Amino acid sequence: MELIIAENLSFHSGSKDILKDGSFRILEGQKVGLIGANGSGKTTLIRMILGELEADGGRLKIKPGLKTGYVPQQPDYDEDQSIEDFLISDLAGLLEAMNAAAEKMSAGSSAWMDEFLTDYQRCSDDFEAGGGYEALERGETYLRRLGLDNPMNQKMGSLSGGERSLVFFASALLSSPELLILDEPGNHLDYLGLAWLETFIAGFKGAVIIVSHNRYLLDSTCGMIIAMEKGKLSVHKGNYSAYKVDRYRFALKAQSDWEASRKLIDKLEKRIKELQSIAMNQYNPPATVMSQLGAAKTKLEAEKTRGLTKPELDNDAMKLNFGIELSKSNIALQIKDLNIAFGDRVLFNQLGLEINCGEKVALVGANGSGKTTLINTVLKQGQWHNPSLRIGPSQKIGYLSQTAVFSETAVTIEDEIRSWGPLTRDGAFSIAGNFAFEYGDLEKPLSVLSGGEVNRLQLARLMYEQINFLILDEPTNHMDIQSREAIEQAIAKFKGTVLVISHDRYFLDQLVDRVVEIENGMLVSHPGNFSDYFKKKYPVLPRLSGDSGRRGLERRKSASGAGESVLVIERRIEELESEKLELERELEASFSGRDRKTGLKAAAKLDKLSIRLVKLYAEWEASAG
């Protein structure tokens, strides 16, 4: 049954088309990812679905009485409100009215008792219909399943960002929604929180719309992707990876069509010039020449009317190249017997770690484990002659921080860029333009930059400095998917060393070949990408009662307890997932190299491989269940 039917929706803001002729359907139980660049109109579409905005054109049909739960990216809350009060805040008015009616019954005269009883019963019925009597109990149950053990009377203002996210999530579930709308639900959650979220969404019986830049979440939960781009809306079956293949396949065809059109236009223009020359040099040109000239002009006009444009993918908006200066030493970073303490508190004791030049390493650990502290210590104390914290002699470190530090005298973007070296205004723009900044943005004050703009400006400096050792602290924070992919592609080509802190699992899986975990004040190395590390560390996640739906390989059973047939299937799945990743990279490269033939072959292989993976996952579910 359809919950939402959208037909030819349009919405305009001033002279800009936020949405034009958008159509889609959302069915019961369907999991849908809504993606697009920052400012593409995702929030506008959500507000239309919630009834907060009216479309300028088209039709939006919502199932009558549809129960919707919504978790906005930045929900409103009172810092002095307790968790308990927040969970039942929608019922607070009814509760107050019910208590007032009860007070009247206890203090009023018997002559008015029937009226007091009627008022109390009405309030009580409404409170019960809204789930009031069970709301607190169910809300606390959800929170405990989410792993939040905080007391219910704790103030909202004293919670961490991740803890508040879980309270908001639990609150949205209280009404038992048929449709759950989540706007960036992974913000502030750690790896375990995100893993639980994936498991919950996969098993949730209702429909879910996920507005997210978290590609791993979109991959593991969604069966349909709605993409918004420059006012246009496209619908794709499958998860994010399937959408990405569709996108490159379409781009390859569009690229081929555009090149063929350009060749035809050039050929026709040349032919027209030849025929015009013949006609001009003859007093009475033959009718066949004039006929051919007319036909060529008509064909040229028709081809130009088609208006084919050169296809570009959004990640072309950022053009990164971090440089390829290779190190003259083998050691990038060597930590030996390093101690870090704050007063009487010992954070690290006799740390040891070695990172070789050219390695790409992820640094992971629980929030508060000391990741940023360790990075700051490396930056401040690291040098070749420090026996506890040695930096390779030819290493040139570039650092992207969560809290950017700009030049003290810089007020605008132009000021900041020109503080890096002898640059003119045009020279500053030649750098900024590679990071999706417009010429007018040079005058933009640093104080008003968004988180994504701050990160892009930091990346611009790293590219300008041509470093060979990148240290990145949450480089994809505040970035849309296209920007994340542009960063990935640049780092994948980078020949130097990378040490990165990130909660973006998809990003880490694409890039790193080793994970270093901070555990109990020690550094523990795990070879492989992040998913390899995560599967070994958490072979089984806590199960939720009533959970169903497909799980990732790591979420159901550890390999050590599985039968031989299950292990064989698991190994085959891992091989195909690795092959899939290589084919996706080949598809991207074929678009960049305008090699349509190779690209279409890669896309066809990906289609076949995806079908095999679906069958293998089904076999694994049957064998491991």
Task: Answer for the pair 6, 60: CB distance below 8 angstroms, yes or no.
Answer: yes
Q: Is the pLDDT of residue 542 over 50?
A: no
Mean pLDDT of the chain: 82
- pLDDT for the residue 410: 94
Calpha distance 566→568 (Å, rounded): 5
372 alpha-carbon distance from chain centroid: 22
Give the mean pLDDT of 435-451: 90
Give the residue from 33, 68, 48, 29 showing the smallest Cα distance to 212: 33
Percent of the chain clearing pLDDT 70 (strictly above): 86
Torsion of CA 91, 94, 96, 99, to 10 degrees: -120
How big is the CA angle at 383 (ends 381 and 385), to the nearest 5 degrees?
Answer: 115
- pLDDT for the residue 248: 79
User: What confidence category does residue 546 fall into, taking pLDDT thresholds of 50, 70 and 90?
Assistant: very low
User: What confidence category does residue 558 fall into, taking pLDDT thresholds of 50, 70 and 90?
Assistant: very low
Calpha distance 370→327 (Å, rounded): 28
User: How are strands ordered across the β-sheet holding 2-13?
Assistant: 16-27, 2-13, 57-62
Calpha distance 363→529 (Å, rounded): 11
Calpha distance 204→548 (Å, rounded): 8
- pLDDT for the residue 554: 40
Give the mean pLDDT of 446-464: 88
Give the residue from 364, 366, 362 showing the smallest Cα distance to 529: 362
> What is the total residue count of the chain?
625
Task: Answer for the pair 355, 333: CB distance below 8 angstroms, yes or no.
Answer: yes
State the burial class of residue 297 (Cβ atoms within 10 Å of its Cβ: 0-12, 13-18, 19+): middle
Give the mean pLDDT of 465-488: 86
- pLDDT for the residue 9: 92
Higher pLDDT among residues 557 and 16, named by residue: 16
Q: Is the pLDDT of residue 363 over 60?
A: yes
Q: Which amino acid is at 495?
A: K
pLDDT digits (tens, 9 = 90+) for 143-166: 877 667 788 889 999 987 778 888
Task: Answer for the pair 488, 506: CB distance below 8 angstroms, yes or no.
Answer: no
Give the residue from 27, 30, 16, 25 showing the smallest Cα distance to 59: 25
| Helix 451-465 × helix 425-432 angle, to 10° | 110
Query: Residues near 405 by Cβ (< 8 Å), separated by ≥ 6?
Result: none
DSSP 288-353: HHHHHHHHHHHHHHHHHHH-------GGGGB------PPPSSSEEEEEEEEEEEETTEEEEEEEEE
pLDDT digits (tens, 9 = 90+) for 341-354: 877 778 888 899 99
- pLDDT for the residue 385: 92
pLDDT digits (tens, 9 = 90+) for 191-240: 777 887 888 888 888 999 999 988 889 988 999 999 998 888 999 998 99
Higher pLDDT among residues 102 and 486, named by residue: 486
The DSSP element (H or E) to which 371 belongs, if any, is helix 371-381
Q: Is the pLDDT of residue 255 over 70?
A: yes
| Helix 564-592 × helix 240-280 angle, to 10° | 30
Is the CA virtual torsion 592, 596, 602, 607 positive or negative? positive
- pLDDT for the residue 88: 78
Q: Would you put residue 452 in left (φ > 0), alpha (ψ -120 to 50) or beta?
A: alpha
User: What confidence category does residue 250 fall into, taking pLDDT thresholds of 50, 70 and 90?
Assistant: confident
pLDDT digits (tens, 9 = 90+) for 286-330: 888 888 889 989 998 988 888 777 776 655 556 666 665 566 678
User: What confidence category does residue 5 fall into, taking pLDDT thresholds of 50, 70 and 90?
Assistant: very high
- pLDDT for the residue 319: 66
User: What confidence category does residue 277 fall into, taking pLDDT thresholds of 50, 70 and 90?
Assistant: confident
Query: Residues near 514 by Cβ (< 8 Å), separated by ≥ 6?
Result: 359, 360, 361, 362, 525, 526, 527, 528
Higher pLDDT among residues 181 and 555, named by residue: 181
Superfamily for domain range 331-537 = P-loop containing nucleotide triphosphate hydrolases (3.40.50.300)
- pLDDT for the residue 241: 86
Of 123-132, 141-150, 513-522, the least confident = 123-132
- For the chain, the domains span 82-174, 245-312, 331-537, 557-624
Give the residue from 231, 172, 214, 238 showing the smallest Cα distance to 45: 231
Structure tokens at 444: 């933009």
- pLDDT for the residue 108: 56
Structure tokens at 246: 């569709």
Query: Residues near 21 by Cβ (< 8 Å), separated by ≥ 6?
Result: 8, 9, 10, 58, 232, 233
pTM over 0.85: no
Q: Is the pLDDT of residue 172 over 80?
A: yes
Provide φ and ψ at 301, rounded to 5°.
-60, -40
Query: Residues near 401 by Cβ (< 8 Å), separated by ≥ 6?
Result: 458, 473
| Helix 113-129 × helix 132-145 angle, to 10° | 30
Q: Residue 445 has what DSSP assignment?
A: B
Q: Is the pLDDT of residue 564 over 70?
A: no
pLDDT digits (tens, 9 = 90+) for 408-435: 999 999 999 999 999 999 999 999 988 8
- pLDDT for the residue 403: 85
Of 21-30, 35-44, 560-569, the least confident = 560-569
Q: Would you put residue 546 in left (φ > 0), alpha (ψ -120 to 50) or beta?
A: left
